[in-house]
């Protein structure tokens, strides 16, 4: 895998998203290595059990776009939303399965916007899918996925609000 190429494409997508049109100012972006992949993550401090360290907080919700050696061979860009260790949120009383079920119900109206989407995962993966990888247009594809996520990110806020204890 050409790590530099994929990292550059994701960094370019982030830069263009920040320039192109207003987005939720609380959304933050990261591009870099993650496990055996190159990933782009979108997240908020308010979606973390430790808002001071939302990227690495043990309890957190985030959107990812990534490629692995295998996904590159299969010509796929992968994406998902993870909800990790939600019980660690101090200001919420969250049961992961309940949170996942309520989020997925809200997401149902947007399913057609997400190619190859599956909701058949446990509560840690709220949704997951893939779209066709064309290295020449990877930054454009990443921007498209980020924009789609920005459109549904309020669903996370709405679902979290249901579990807020103060």
| 104-145 residue pLDDT tens | 999 999 999 999 999 999 999 999 999 999 999 999 999 999
% pLDDT > 90, the chain: 87
Indicate if the pLDDT at residue 146 is higher than 90.
Answer: yes
Report yes or no: 46 and 28 within 8 Å, Cβ to Cβ: no
**pTM, two decimal places:** 0.95
Residues sharing a CB contact under 8 Å with residue 39, sequence separation 6 or more, in sequence order = 10, 30, 31, 32, 33, 64, 65, 66
Do the beta carbons of residue 31 and residue 39 sit within 8 Å? yes
Provide, rounded to the nearest whole percent, the portion of the chain with pLDDT above 70: 98
Q: Write the CA distances from 56 to 71, 98, 156, integer angstroms.
A: 25, 24, 19
Average pLDDT, the chain: 94
């Amino acid at each position: 895998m050409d790590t530099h190429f994929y990292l550059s494409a994701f960094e370019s997508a982030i830069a263009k998203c920040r320039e192109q049109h207003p987005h939720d100012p609380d959304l933050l972006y990261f591009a870099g290595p993650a496990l055996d992949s190159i990933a782009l993550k979108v997240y908020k401090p308010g979606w973390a059990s430790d808002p001071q360290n939302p990227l690495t907080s043990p309890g957190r919700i985030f959107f990812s776009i990534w490629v692995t050696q295998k996904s590159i061979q299969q010509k796929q860009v992968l994406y998902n939303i993870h909800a990790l260790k939600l019980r660690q949120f101090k200001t919420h009383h969250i049961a992961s399965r309940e949170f996942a079920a309520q989020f997925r119900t809200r997401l149902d109206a947007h399913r057609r916007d997400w190619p190859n989407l599956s909701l058949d995962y446990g509560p840690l993966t709220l949704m997951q899918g893939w779209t066709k990888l064309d290295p020449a247009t990877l930054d454009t594809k990443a921007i498209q996925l980020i924009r789609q996520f920005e459109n549904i990110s309020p669903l996370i806020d709405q679902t979290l609000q249901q579990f807020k204890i103060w």
